[in-house]
Amino acid sequence: MRRKNVRAVGTAAVAVVAMLAAAGCQDSGGSTAGGDDKQCGKIAIFGAFTGPNAGLVIPSLNGAKLAVKEHNAANPDCQVTLQEFDTQGNADQATPIASQVAQDSSFTSVIGGHFSAETKATMGTYEAAGLVMVSPSATAAELTTLGNKSFFRVVGNDSTQGGAAVTYIRDVLAAKKVFAIDDGQTYGAGIINEVKKGLGPLVVAEDRVQTDQQNFDATISKIKSANPDVIAYAGYTNEAAPLLKQARAAGVTAKFLGFDGLYDPQFPAGAGQSAAEGAIVTCPCLPADKAGGTFSADYEKEYGIPPGSYGAEGYDGAKILLDGYAAGKRSRAEMIEWVRGYDKQGVSKYLKFDASGDVDRSRVVIWAYEVKGGQIVAQQEIKLS
């Protein structure tokens, strides 16, 4: 996932102060205060914990908090603090947070980013500080082509998801004419390019929307002219929900397929149940009932609802780091080496990273989800070629 940049505000110093106030710098996990001799690690976690796309990220945050709670209960002599920083998914908000965390020697690892824009904007800061980053859901393919040595992710990248979507559109939806739409951001533009390359001449027309756009008459007019049987949309709920709602109201009946940026309960809620019904969402994230061990039951007991998008992956991202602390790793350098050599079954998949920081491709799974009755439910796994 990737979310947009916003305009920079003020000087760097002002931005840090403002962002720390907005973030709340919340501790979670029932851990002990800094300076306690039982304290063995401190993790920063950042992402869109509020804002229009927070529904996509909260399950991952909750999964990480659950992992920390379990670790602390099982390891009274090795307590770990998880400190939350709310970026709303915006790179400009994430940047001063990264500077603050990097300069605070008590932090020895980072979970995030959850969106790709905030991840790309902060990777250099964390790498320069020797801080390992483990992302549950930043999928932009370019993140692992930049030569960064401290970034790892537990999900497949958008090249993989885009290829799976091509298979689904071509073989399951049997599309003859596809209209492609993206939001102009690296996540949306990147994954839709993979789809366009894979589908070739099946893509008969395309358009680009703007972030925070709310009127889509021009795009809907282009869709009607192209008369596609499938619309492939790459972006986020904030724009996708009103687009789909307006398109259905205008009489567009083409099948609608989006990517993991729409695996958010606010997507069907925002589009309206009748408009969203039957929409397909692909995601390199595991359905709740497919997660290993007792994770899903434990999550539901803790939060009262089943884990949603990236819940299992958020748990796994935290567990990798927690296993390092439990194994006696304490410094930033030790934690990077720990993650680089990690080789263990997680609840979402087997977790082992290649030299670029991507999780082993042979372990990646892509699922198609469908909106039914206002809920996003697992439909089928898409086999990778």
Rg (CA), the chain: 20
Whether residue 5 is contained in a domain is answered as no
183/320 same-domain check: no
Q: Are residues 96 and 46 part of one domain?
A: yes
Q: Is residue 295 part of a domain?
A: yes
Predicted confidence (pLDDT) per residue in 18-35, tens digit: 333 334 445 654 433 344
Same structural domain, 219 and 337: no
Would 6 be classed as within a structural domain? no
**CATH number of the domain within which 240 lies:** 3.40.50.2300
Q: What is the pLDDT of residue 36?
A: 64
Domain with 236 in it: 158-283+366-382
**Residues 277 and 342 placed together within one structural domain of the fold:** no
In this predicted model, what pLDDT tens digit does every residue of 72-130 receive, in sequence order?
A: 999 999 999 999 999 999 999 999 999 999 999 999 999 999 999 899 999 999 999 99
Structural domain count, the chain: 2
69 and 206, same domain (yes or no): no
- Is there a single domain that holds both residue 148 and residue 18? yes
Q: Is residue 359 part of a domain?
A: no
The reply to whether 3 falls in a domain is: no
Q: Please check whether residue 338 lies inside any domain of the structure.
A: yes
Banded pLDDT at 187 (limits 50, 70, 90): confident
**Predicted confidence band of residue 185 (pLDDT cuts 50, 70, 90):** confident
Q: pLDDT by residue (tens digit) across 332-374?
A: 999 999 999 999 999 999 999 999 999 998 899 999 999 999 9
Same domain membership, residue 374 and residue 235:
yes
pTM score, whole prediction:
0.87
pLDDT digits (tens, 9 = 90+) for 193-225: 999 999 999 999 999 999 899 999 999 999 999
